Structure 1
Amino acid sequence: MKTVGLGGVSFYDTPYTYDFGGGNSVTFTTVDKGFSFAPAGVSTGGSTQIASLGAPFYDPAQPTSYFSNRGGTIGPDTLAQYVGYSAPAAIAYSISDSIIGLRFDLGQGYQYGYAQIAGSTLQGFRFETTPGLGVNIAAVPEPASWALLISGFGIIGLAMRRRRVAAVTA
């Protein structure tokens, strides 16, 4: 597994290209800059492909994004088709923190990974160095989930304390 942290590289004004090796690359750019919430765009080089949705949703297929805090896997079992894009293709719903599924072949079989973007900022890449294996997306609990978990622990602690006090007085 390889993680490439970029710490928030902007591709709003200047496209950003990452080379996986062997001529396999992915380029992020901003499309339709005149629009106030301009979507990210992606193009690929070599054997690199993007997880995309096709028919019956889109014809031709369009790159798709995944919520980064929901967890899951990008790999051979991902419910999407992988498509290469020679020209920048808009990524739907890429304004918020998103995961873009990737696959590329360095000669031993497909390697899977993802890029994490937020609007026109690239946070980094994570990809599996062993061909054929998927990459897990770490789920981040939402604040409401944390609040529910902490409240539950508090209620359990209170119930245990009340039970102890009741046993001593009896």
Structure 2
Amino acid sequence: MRLAIFAAWAACSIVAPASAATTLSSVSADFSDPVGGNSSFYHYLDTDGRPGSEEIRWGDPGSPNRVDRQSGLRFSYAPAQAIVQGTPFTLGTLTYYNNPVLDAINAVSFSVSPGLTVDGAPLATGPFTFLISVDETPNQNNPATCPYPSNIGCSDKISIKTGAATQVFQLGDQTLTLYIDGFLDAQLVPQSSFIAQEQESTTATLVAHFDLASPVPEPASWAMLVAGFGILGGAMRRSGSRIRFKTVRSPV
């Protein structure tokens, strides 16, 4: 494991040899401006005391005051961590709760602001904004008639469109860029949509990297960065900590 991490660092250090000590110190997120559905059923939740509402629930659950039976989205922050220049790191996990409800929304805005510290100096980052579209299908029980592959009832489709995906900083004689790489699957491939099964929760991991600015990366730079992703992915798979999409049964 240590050898793999060192190899990933070595590969990426070729891309950006002059690296500053950088820490992901905090992350804040906010869901806002839902479109569609009955607004009387909207619930914004702040569970960690940070700025913003990192969870939103919607829809008529059929039971008064049962937020846990509503559909919704939640963003869970990654812990504070040291990051290596040019190497991908996790910002947090997005979870979609798919429950049988009425009056579903069609879309919601999601913004995330990573807090970075470079050589002890904080950087004001973000917000990076995403539009999340929700195709919440009818609550029918015959999977054969559903628009998306389904197990029980009809699954939903969540589509994510990114806005600004980079932010540039000038630190001394270096120009550095924070890249939001997007939501990745187990093969470290960015995904713009995923299928969420009925009565289950589905998660995807938001990943970024911090590197020397390069408007048109050289082919060798791209090769080294891809190598860094691959080595990191292999090490995470061996340690059982994958960047992945997964589904689990939701509490009811």
Give the structure-2-normalised TM-score.
Answer: 0.24
The structure that has the greater radius of gyration is 1
Give the structure-1-normalised TM-score.
Answer: 0.31
